[in-house]
Amino acid sequence: MAKKTPAINSSSTADIAFLLLCYFLMTTTMGSQTGLSRRLPPMPDPNQKVEDQKVNRRNIILVKINSADRIFAGSEPIDITQLKDRIKIFITNPADSPNLPAKEVKEIKGIGNRNVTKAVISLQNDRGTSYDAYIAVQNELVKAINELRNEASMREFGKALSALNEDQQKAIKDLVPPQISEAEPKDVGKSRR
């Protein structure tokens, strides 16, 4: 006669596995990816008449990223490490060059009459541009604007931009406006015929 082996009651094993699963799902944190913080312009009023804005060619710098992730500022290739300084020189136009952006005198609340640049940075990427290259260029453009704002803050108020009150920060943002325009991606690297 065969010897009977004792059976293990496994009915509660499923309950324990379920409880462990619930525990790990509740205590585990999921990594969330954050995107670029950009505020889109508000939707225009449908009854509003659309005006065609003309921008002087000297006031625009075209920053392109091709499908090989090469960066061009204007028509010349540039390394990512040089982009921030190139943009700062373009925006400030320290030598008042006729080839760089014009400036206009504006009344800035809390500061007075100051020269404000009319510079516009137009960013255009290729459909094949890598996300890393796009983000790296975006970071350099924003870094250039932030550095210019911080320099203006030190010059006007003697404090860093982050130490200013809300009205002073608005004045500095009016003095160094962020003029970054993003064009629709296209095939930047293709030659024109």
Number of separate domains in the chain: 1
25 belongs to a structural domain: no
CB under 8 A, 24+ apart: contacts of 76-81: 80/136, 80/137, 80/140
Residue 193: pLDDT band (50, 70, 90) is very low
> Within a domain: residue 178?
yes
Residue 20 placed within a domain: no
Whether pLDDT at 162 is above 80: yes
Residue type at 182 in one-letter notation: E
Q: How far apart are CA 86 and CA 101, in angstroms?
A: 13
Tell whether 68 is covered by a domain.
Answer: yes
User: For 12-21, 30-39, 116-125, 131-140, which range has the lowest pLDDT when averaged over its residues?
Assistant: 30-39
Which residue, among 123, 119, 105, 108, has the nearest Cα to 179 in the 3D structure? 119
Domain with 89, as residue range(s), is 57-182
Specify if 11 maps to a domain. Answer: no
Cα torsion for 118, 119, 125, 130, to the nearest 10°? -130
Q: What is the pLDDT of residues 96-125, one digit of tens each?
A: 888 888 888 888 888 888 888 888 888 888
Q: Is residue 28 part of a domain?
A: no
**73, 61 in Cβ contact below 8 A?**
yes
